[in-house]
Amino acid sequence: MTESRLFSSETKGLLLKCLGLSSMEELWTREYKDLTLDDDVNRESVAKYSIRARGSVRLFSGRYYTLVEYNDRIDRINNLRLP
């Protein structure tokens, strides 16, 4: 499918302006950072962008753990003394 069939000229212009790009080719060939388990989730960033995450009630309502919170929870569970 060609680029002209994907976006109207208005949509394309708005997208390029918002992203600060000069052509759609820059968007298609851009290198993106790979997320790993060592990357931590920033609650402020999630709160800022959660409005755009359609369908993720868990993220929108804040029901998730950051990497630090998850590791603390695992440590707490592992240190529980069971009868």
Residue 10 lies in a domain: yes
Residue 22 lies in a domain: yes
pLDDT of 61 over the 80 cut: no
Report the amino acid identity of residue 38. Answer: D
**Domain span at 23:** 1-27
User: Where do runs of H (alpha helix) occur along the chain?
Assistant: 3-6, 9-19, 24-29, 43-49, 57-60, 67-78
Residue 53 lies in a domain: yes
Residue 16 lies in a domain: yes
Residue 55: predicted pLDDT: 66
Counting the structural domains of the chain, the total is 2
Residue 72 lies in a domain: yes
Residue 35 lies in a domain: no
Residue 34 lies in a domain: no
Total Cβ atoms within 10 A of residue 41:
15
Cα–Cα distance measured from residue 42 to residue 26, given in angstroms and rounded to the nearest whole number: 27
Residue 83 lies in a domain: no
pLDDT digits (tens, 9 = 90+) for 9-50: 888 888 888 888 888 888 788 787 766 666 666 777 777 766
